[in-house]
Structure 1
């Protein structure tokens, strides 16, 4: 069955009547859709379009690689796992390998997909593909021209402290820490 028919059959499906493009940026775009609600009324939905992203839980010598960088929307520095957006036509695994090496200088000899999740389904279509590796070799850091960050390897205890201190507060890194803890306790994800 095709996805359109499947969506149309859901009792809460919202049919798009009109789409207005509001902003086209280099990373995101914003549109306002007018939709028909299940009860026949209409409403508007503000939607952020994003190409998707990848993130990597990378463990080296029992510690997780993280980067610290300034995040303007929060107006503060954050500690996060290596991550970045998908380039046009890029496969998520290739992007995960690329971002890991660009930001940390480590290359994954093998890498495993853990999960794909939406970041804010109420207004954004972004999907993050989360990967795991503990099979690393030294590569080279290749930061983008507008990217300023530092990399460190932290213990599970340090990660927990960073969460308590608010240094780690983004969903992908919180999920990574909890997945890492689960793996440490049970041997699986």
Structure 2
């Protein structure tokens, strides 16, 4: 069986700064048709900052889930920007550290059932301190934890943010 859906028609519903919404009519592998509600989302980056035997996280409120969560520093890749450049900028903005090394840990799709959003994951372990230039609409708390504590929390399923759980899994598999 071929696993492909041919787009027959596409209707844009919303065009925003971070994402666009559309509905595609598709031809299914068996010849039938269906509709797909899709989110075209800007590319993101997530960075695991490891300083000595500690990992640095940010705690912030996420309106979509109405919760405060602990996650890795992350952000969007701007037009024309390389993901590594975005990672450096985001770390400096969110935790006041400029990475001297960035190690690529792969990419992940948070929810490919409805969005093309891709997050490029990095790890950094060497830094220089630079003053934070936090975004005006961003309110975050910096949280540092020993790696052994993070691992215990990870194994108990305490990190529910997809990019954070994914990068921690990759990091712990390298240990």
Which of the five TM-score ranges fits, normalised by the shorter chain? Answer: over 0.9
Alignment-derived partner of residue 181 in structure 1: 172
CA shift, 1:141, in A, is 1.0
Residue of structure 2 aligned with 1:86, choices 77, 83, 93: 77
3-state SS in 2 of match to 1:59: strand
CA offset digits 1:37-93 (Å, max 9, x no partner): 111111000110111100001101211110000001111100000000111111111
Q: What corresponds to 1:5 in structure 2?
A: none
| 8 A contact 2:108–2:163 mirrored in 1 | no
| 1:50 paired residue among 41, 49, 63 | 41
TM-score by length of structure 2 reads: 0.93
Summarize deviations over 1:94-131 as a string: whole Å, max 9, x none: 00111011101011112111101111111000000001
Larger helix proportion, structure 1 or 2? 1
C-alpha distance in structure 2 between counterparts of 1:83 and 1:175, whole Å: 13
- Distance in 2 of aligned mates of 1:44 and 1:173: 31
Alignment map for 1:4-153 (pairs within 5 Å): 11-153=2-144
Matched length: 174
Q: CA RMSD in A?
A: 1.6
Listed as ranges, the gaps of 5+ residues in structure 1 are 1-9, 185-189
Unaligned 5+ runs, structure 2:
none
Please, which moves more after superposition, 139-148 or 152-161?
152-161
SS of the residue 2:89 aligns to = helix
Structure 2 Cα separation of the partners of residues 137 and 152 of structure 1: 18
CA contact (8 A) 1:119 1:127 kept: yes
TM-score by length of 1: 0.86
